[in-house]
Chain A
């Protein structure tokens, strides 16, 4: 997918996000102080929802403008600058990094910090092309222990 097409999709998503914000901002009325709310509305007519509504409306307008500009440029016809193989590799590495980091953060509360961090580091080094397993393992374990000493033992981080 080329960048302009991605930008088009993101702009459309932002329009949806802003529209949802417009519809849901009023839900906060129940939590507001009625006295303060009435007082504010009598002075200038603005309240807790005014600025979020303004931001959402402007964002819809800006994203619509951006969509119009991209469609005018025929964004889907732009040539990509990297080879197909290279792009696939980068996308795969990026996705894998994101997923592995998410799994690491999900496991952190349940598994020993040193163990899960060492495994995470080891897997990441291998993912990024480091093939010397002994070196990967040594650096991963040493790094995890160092983090534990600095952040958990000395700084009392309750991870």
Chain B
């Protein structure tokens, strides 16, 4: 316990004593708020463009990750601005906020609505941080003693959960996962040196440049998908917004709904691939059903804003738990952060807590600091976001494409990653049109090599004995859970069809 507290303090020390880190967190949070406020733009898109650029600028790994953490935290809160003022959420997770935020704004209380959103986001962010700080060391200690066969099964469970909970049906989710797994096999095999699917092309010997693939999926594909929004004009409910921050007694009054939202957010955040969207609706429905006057909801009830916003930001803390202890990302943004760790030569697997505890705790410190920065920036720069919301995507999309091109180029100072990014942009766009989400594909690319390497290592160290994967009760249990998830969701898919 005392060791954990010491680590927490050293994490804060690493995050704040360097003024560059502090500046990057402020810049990242500010950028995240803007990205979140723009409908159609997302935190994975912003983070993925920053990733190769920060690497090229030779920023230390922790500085780059703190910048991304700021973007990650800011985006969730930023999504509430268009939800309240335009009835159009800036992020999918902000859709629920519009239900009560927009009616409240229509009554001339838009400043109060945004104030509730900022308060809820901050409460949820701090709650999520507390959960992460408690569970990351505990799970980390368990994970570091894992054997290769454990890691292979954990990876398989992570991919199964992603395909089970991603939007659409499980068949599409599994297709995405296996596409990612197959793409992940491109390149030189780590065990015997065989050049798989390279066809004599030298660049493919090192596999698909991961950062370029991410830029394609989350940058270019999103632009192609959102072209249909160009030209559509949203009407702001009020042109002038003066922020009204709720008083402390209101925090005491609404603590229950914010806690319920935060609990859902952290729990769901810890499950890979689910994302915050689903949990906000469940939390909203729970709070509404428990209320004495549920008919208030949908008419501008403060709880209708506080609950989903706290759920949103608490999700960030939840996603940190599997990411930092098992190397399994909770959502698209954390998948990119894991990619950043790989790019910087850090192994993001179960040994991360043991080998780089300073990095882990600095990231957790960054989560809390970014949440606090988000509160102040959201409070003082509210009028600026009105201006941001009025911007037409016709101006922004071409700049996104240029930024994505530059980001991909900076992976290796050559044009090859740019063409990879373009190809993956088109592929990602086509898949999204078909209802195949790119998140399982990305997770398949990340976890595929981990699963394969550990499975083969397990067989080598156990003289080719396949029963090693069921030789312990908890491995057998996890495989059983995988089987159950697959069977029940596939049955549901076929029944629905």
Residues of A at the B interface (CB closer than 8 Å) are: 3, 6-7, 10-11, 14, 18, 21, 24-25, 27-29, 31-33, 36-37, 40, 42-49, 51-52, 55-56, 58-59, 62-63, 65-66, 69, 72-73, 90, 93-94, 97-98, 101-102, 104-105, 108-109, 117, 120-121, 124-125, 128-130, 139, 143, 147, 151, 155, 157-159
Complex alpha-carbon distance, A58 and B180, angstroms? 13
Interface residues of chain B, those whose CB is within 8 Å of chain A, are 53, 56-57, 171-172, 174-175, 178-179, 181-182, 185, 188-189, 191-199, 220, 223-224, 227-228, 230-231, 392-395, 397-399, 401-403, 405-406, 409-410, 413, 415, 418-419, 422, 425-426, 429-431, 433-436, 448, 452, 455-456, 459-460, 463-466, 493-494, 497
Chain A residues, CB < 8 A from B465: 44
Q: Do residues B430 and A10 form an inter-chain contact, with CB atoms below 8 A?
A: yes
Return 7 A-B CB contacts under 8 Å, by A number.
Answer: A6-B430, A7-B434, A31-B194, A32-B192, A52-B182, A97-B401, A130-B394
Cβ–Cβ contact B430 & A139, under 8 A? no
Contact among B181, B198, B227, B394 with A94 in the assembled complex (CB-CB below 8 Å) = B227
In the bound complex, do residue A24 and residue B197 qualify as a contact, i.e. CB atoms below 8 Å apart? yes
From residue B452, how far is it (CB to closest CB) to chain A in Å?
5
Is B53 in contact with A155, judged by CB distance below 8 angstroms? Answer: yes
Q: Which of B394, B395, B402 contacts A147 (CB 8 A)?
A: B402
Q: Is the CB of B395 within 8 A of A125?
A: yes
Contact of A90 among B196, B227, B399, B460 (CB under 8 A): B227
Would you call the interface of chain B mostly helix, strand, loop, or mixed?
Answer: helix
Judge whether B409 and A55 touch: CB under 8 Å. Answer: no
A29 to B171: give the CA distance in the assembly, Å: 32
| A42 contacts B464, C-beta separation under 8 Å | yes
Find chain A residues with CB under 8 A from B191 CB.
36, 40, 47-48
B414 → chain A closest CB, angstroms: 9
Report A-chain residues with C-beta under 8 Å of the C-beta of B429: 94
Nearest 8 CB-CB pairings of A with B: A44-B459, A44-B464, A128-B394, A32-B194, A124-B398, A48-B194, A43-B464, A7-B434
> Which residues of A are found within 8 Å of B182, using beta-carbon distances?
18, 21, 52, 55-56, 59
Contact B459–A124 (Cβ < 8 Å): no
Least CB distance from A24 to B in Å reads 7
Question: Quick check: B172 and A66 within 8 Å, CB to CB?
Answer: yes
CA distance A108 to B223 in the complex (A): 20
Instruction: State whether B460 touches A40 (Cβ < 8 A).
Output: yes
Q: A65: shortest Cβ distance to chain B, in Å?
A: 6
B194 touches A105 (CB 8 A): no
Consensus secondary structure, chain A interface: helix
Q: Within the complex, which residue of A6, A44, A97, A130 is in contact with B434, where a contact is CB–CB below 8 Å?
A: A6
What are the residues of chain A within 8 A of B406 when measuring CB–CB?
Answer: 147, 151, 157, 159
Contact partners of B53 in chain A: CB under 8 A: 151, 155
Interface centre among B196, B197, B399, B460 (most CB of A within 10 A): B196
Residues of A near B179 (CB, < 8 A) are 14, 59
Q: How far apart are B380's CB and chain A's nearest CB, in angstroms? A: 26
Q: Once bound together, how far apart are the Cα atoms of A109 and B405, in whole Å?
A: 12
Residues of A within 8 A of B415 (CB): 105, 108-109
CB distance from A20 to the nearest CB of B (A): 10
Known: A51-B185, A51-B455. 11 other contacts (CB 8 A): A10-B430, A55-B448, A62-B174, A66-B175, A69-B497, A105-B405, A124-B398, A128-B230, A128-B398, A143-B402, A151-B53
Q: Which of A43, A49, A73 contacts B497, CB < 8 Å?
A: A73
Contact B410 A157 (CB under 8 A): yes
Interfacial chain A residues near B392, Cβ < 8 Å: 130
B421 to chain A, nearest CB (A): 9
A residues less than 8 Å from B175 (CB atoms): 11, 14, 59, 62-63, 66
Question: Do A7 and B197 touch across chains, with their CB atoms under 8 A apart?
Answer: no
Q: What residues of chain A lie closer than 8 Å to B456, measured between beta carbons?
A: 40, 44, 46
Which residues of B lie under 8 Å from residue A101 when comparing CB positions?
220, 401, 405, 422
